[in-house]
Amino acid sequence: MAATPRILVVDDELPVCKSVARAVSGEYEVDTALSAEEALLKQAESEYDVIVTDLMMPGQSGMDLLKALNEKGSATKVVMITGYPSVKSAVMSIKLGAFDFIPKPFTPNEIRNLVKRALASGTPESGNGKGVARPVVPPGDIYAISDNSWARIEDNGLARVGVHDSFLKTIKDPASIDMPRPGDMRYQGEACVRLVDGAGNAHRVWTPVSGRVKTVNERLKESISCLLEDPYGDGWVIMLEPTHLEEDLKRLTHQAR
């Protein structure tokens, strides 16, 4: 029998720490720490599968914790909790190796779903149950919020945006997608689209670059099959007119495929 996954919740505010711990308890063994320093001590004793940490804390921050784990070569998945003012720092944390982030406020169900995705990522049995093979990416460079979303800059200056195939593999039975309308503004690190699974859970896909929505992929409103089968081609989700492209790209991972 596989060992019970171990989760560590880190937040300098005790009520918040306990609240998040309660939200993810039940299926997992859950510990808490009130600082990054305490978290590193506990991690040294026995490595956790997932660490859920506040990004902004006195003393060592969640980013400092992530960097310390990276230096030790830890395989622990790190999920950042962030407020709106630090969303761009949370995007940068993914470039530095965090699995994902979740902005406040969030529901217990949202943090549970994110922990489940973190545990599912990279495992041999991970997958969405639809038999989706890893796609072949068309020629061209992409800029990514790793394992979440991607953007490709077109010749006309627009940004084609889609869902990273690694993200899709952590969603069980993806069923539909909620998309913005043309004319809507989307900012880096905000929800770009929401992918809804067969159980009705919504999973947020982050906007890789800020901009105004020019068009959406109308085919996805009828069926998301092309998203699952060809997420870097016919399964793109929206086209944006970028507003802060140069700055936004600095926080993304450049993937030349």
pLDDT digits (tens, 9 = 90+) for 45-64: 989 999 999 999 999 999 99
Average pLDDT over every residue of 192-205: 94
Q: Delineate the domains of the chain, giving CATH numbers in brackets.
A: 6-120 (3.40.50.2300), 141-256 (2.40.50.100)
By the 10 Å C-beta count (0-12 exposed, 13-18 middle, 19+ buried), 234 is classed as: middle
Rounded to two decimals, the pTM is: 0.89
Distance CA 192, CA 62 (A): 24
Residue 118 has pLDDT above 90, yes or no: yes
| Confidence band for 241, pLDDT divided at 50, 70 and 90 | very high
- 162 vs 159: CA distance, rounded Å: 10
- Using the predicted structure, report yes or no on whether residue 189 has a pLDDT greater than 90: yes
